[in-house]
Amino acid sequence: MKTEQESVVSVRNFGPLENWKDLVLSVPGLPPVAKQFLKNELGLGGMEVSLNHFAPGDTMPFTHRHRENEELYLFLTGRGEFAADDERIPIESGTCIRCAPETKRCWRNSGDSPMTFLCIQAPAKGMPEVSGIDDGEVVGRAPEDFR
Ligand code: ZN
C-alpha cells in the first residue's frame, strides 16, 4: 500500500465550514482548539495547511512566530483583528495576511459570528522561482464528461 506521500492524489473531506467547529486538536498544556492540520492527512510535501474555527470571542491564547516558515492566513468567514508585531489589521471575509517567519502574530474573533480560516505554512525561502501559473502545464482538454 502506498503512503500518502507516494500517492498522486489524496482526498479528505472535513465537511462544510459550519462543521469546522467540531474539529479537535489537543496540544499538551493548552485547551483543545477547533483545528485540523493537513500535512500528514494528505501527505503534503512542501507545506503545512490547517483548517480553523474560532467562535465569537475566541482569541489565540498566545502570540507566536516561526523559525523557518512564513504563513498565509486566509479568512473565509467572520470578523476580527490580527496583531502583527505592532500593527493591527482588521479581519473580514476575504482578508489574506502573510507573515514572515519572525513576525509576532496573534488574532481574535471580535465579531458575533464564527470565524473560519485557512493557515498555509511553507518554508519562507523554499519556493522555486517558477510557481503559480508558470509552474502549470496544459496536458489536454477537460475530460469528455466534464464538457
Ligand atoms: Zn504559526
pLDDT digits (tens, 9 = 90+) for 57-112: 999 989 999 999 999 999 999 999 999 999 999 999 999 999 999 999 999 999 99
What spacing in Å lies between the alpha carbon of 70 and ligand 1's midpoint?
A: 8
What spacing in Å lies between the alpha carbon of 9 and ligand 1's midpoint?
A: 26
- Alpha-helical regions (H) of the chain: 39-42
Q: By C-alpha distance, which of 78, 77, 97 is closest to 87? A: 97
Q: Are 60 and 36 in contact (CB under 8 A)?
A: no
What's the Cα-to-Cα distance from 3 to each of 28, 36, 41, 42, rounded to whole Å? 28, 19, 10, 10
What spacing in Å lies between the alpha carbon of 144 and ligand 1's midpoint?
A: 42
pLDDT tens per residue across span 63-76 = 999 999 999 999 99
How much is the pTM? Answer: 0.89
What spacing in Å lies between the alpha carbon of 137 and ligand 1's midpoint?
A: 32
